[in-house]
Amino acid sequence: MNQLQAADYLVFFLYFLIISCYGYYIFQKKKSKKALATDFFLAEGSLTWWAIGASLIASNISAEHFIGMSGSGFALGLAISTYEWMSAFTLIIVAVFILPIYLRNKIFTMPQFLSIRYNDTVSTIMAVFWLLVYVFVNLTSIIYLGSLAISSITNISFEWSIVGLSLFAVIVTLGGMKVIGYTDVIQVIVLIIGGLVTTYLAIALLSDHFGYGGNILKGLAVLKREAPSHFHMIFDKTHKNYPELPGLSVLIGGMMVNNLAYWGCNQYIVQRALGADLVTARKGILFAAFLKLLIPIIAVLPGIAMYVLHQEGMFQTEMSGIDGIIKPDHAYPTLMNLLPPGLKGVAFAALTAAIVASLAGKANSIATIFSLDIYKKFLNKNASDRKLVLIGRWVVIISMLVAAIVTPALRSLDQAYQFIQEYVGFISPGVLAIFLLGFYWKKTTSEAALTGALLTIPISAVLKFLPIWTDDWFPDFPFLDRMSITFGLIVLTMMVISLARPKSQNNAHNIHVDLGMFKVTPGFIIGSVIITGILTALYTVFW
């Protein structure tokens, strides 16, 4: 039944009350009397390692995982988990080889790094790219998927769901990064508990359908037995879903480009660690990597379970759109509707927690980039910290309003998770190329970086649309392979330009890098080995 009962409203109200009261408590307790910009945007020196780790996950996990990844689990199977499991490995790389460069050079925003290493032109172009992507892809897709889910499991309309989520996120965001960081701890606890409850229901329902009386272990065995095609991590070229997840590209190719750009060069992710010391930040990132290993359990397994039940003849109507075509993204909302009163409220709170935390993180980063890299640099160079905080808060409100207005245009999507990954991937290869060469190749010039910034979208677009324009005369590469090709072409182009015009502007001396920055503690090494071992076992078992 698509409505919440009294017990569900009570659970959700308690969740909302706890988040609001705790957020207000943090805001008052840690409020800076001087209204420092670094305090509002970065929570400088205020976040513990567990708050950093939780905030990283809360900012990353959203409706696109609960709804979109479950939908991809329904359509593709466990292989979609590679986005999560390879992220855990990528986080280790970022903690060791990228984060120290930011902290050592006191980098607060990604455009700031580009400005220091290259010039203001490169910085501003990328700042505008990021702002457009964050508002028109990230914010809109999260609001869309969240509103889709809420309208599917309650009697709240899609339009009012958009309004409610946007307002809730604005309230959290206006408190600044400290409020976001510490409330994210509660958000993560809620979303994991709620996610596990929904996964338990899915497996128990499957077990009961096959005559095992809700036995979870039997249900897992049934899942593997009835959907063997859904338990392969690596697809070969004959697999029907190869274009979505092309073979080893999910390990060493486009997936690595995608993840390194996301976790290492992305404002709303890296920002969580930029206000801490290196040891604390690394502990937080390692904690986030451990949490990443859990996400497929709460996001992918329910989708696979719904696939098996649908194959058994269940949920035929619920899983179909108005046109009668199966909609994988309906899997998770359909499952949530089966939860009993009270537990449905827990799952609803978990979904809301994931959506609001992610929206708040992205909105804060939009405000950070605009305030520090656009407003202060070009509109008001003498702006006080108080003025920057005020501008940041207005940017939060305006960006959320714009995203809410644009959101209804996304209603035609079937698998939103794949849509998000593909179109964010239009700029990821160029971003990663510019950053990595800026970190590690001193000969990289500003002219080369500018060329890389301007080429990333055209190259990505040509590789995507040329097969259509030429009636498939040009190879139609999977989008992860397109990312690898684009990354390689941009790196090559930047190197050629840098070597051909070595006397062009080169500000490599502005960024300090030395081997001592990359030393890690024994505890970090142990944690990294454990995570790598778990990943090796998972890919070996489910290859």
b/e sequence 320-337, b meaning 16+ C-beta within 10 Å: eeeeeebbbbbbbbbbbb
- Kindly report the CATH class assigned to 6-22+36-415: mainly alpha
190-209 confidence digits (pLDDT tens): 778 878 888 888 888 888 88
pLDDT at 9: 83
Q: Which long-range contacts (CB under 8 A, 24 or more apart) does 530-535 make?
A: 531/88, 531/89, 531/92, 531/286, 531/289, 531/290, 531/293, 532/89, 532/92, 534/293, 535/85, 535/86, 535/88, 535/89, 535/293
Higher pLDDT: 425 or 165? It is 165
Indicate if the pLDDT at residue 7 is higher than 60: yes
Q: What percent of the chain is predicted at pLDDT more than 90?
A: 21
Q: Name the DSSP class of 501.
A: S
31: nearest Cα among 187, 177, 185, 167: 177
pLDDT at 529: 96
pLDDT at 394: 92
pLDDT at 436: 94
List, in order, residues 6 or more apart from 533 with CB less than 8 Å away: none
Q: Looking at mean pLDDT, say which of 260-269, 305-314, 334-343, 532-541 comes out highest.
A: 532-541
Domain definitions of the chain by residue range: 6-22+36-415
Strand runs (DSSP E) across 229-316, as ranges?
A: none
CB 46 within 8 A of CB 181: yes
Q: What are phi and psi of 311, to 5 degrees?
A: -65, -25
How far, in whole angstroms, is CA 310 from its chain's centroid?
Answer: 29
pLDDT at 470: 66
Give the H/E segment covering residue 471.
none
pLDDT at 137: 82
Amino acid at 332: Y
pLDDT at 42: 58
Q: Which residue has the tokens 């024994």?
A: 522
pLDDT at 89: 94
DSSP of 418-443, one letter per residue?
HHHHHHHTTTHHHHHHHHHHHHH-TT
Distance CA 213, CA 195 (A): 22
DSSP of 358-409, one letter per residue?
HHHHHHHHHHHHIIIIIIIIII-TT--HHHHHHHHHHHHHHHHHHHHHHGGG
Q: Looking at mean pLDDT, say which of 9-18, 232-241, 487-496 comes out highest.
A: 487-496
Structure token digits, residue 96: 């060791």
**Angle value at C-alpha 9, between 24 and 207, nearest 5 degrees:** 115
Average pLDDT, integer, range 511-536: 92
pLDDT category at 79 given cuts 50, 70, 90 is: confident
CB 69 within 8 A of CB 303: yes
Distance CA 67, CA 368 (A): 28
CB 391 within 8 A of CB 371: yes
Kindly state the greatest CA–CA separation across the chain. 75
pLDDT at 446: 92
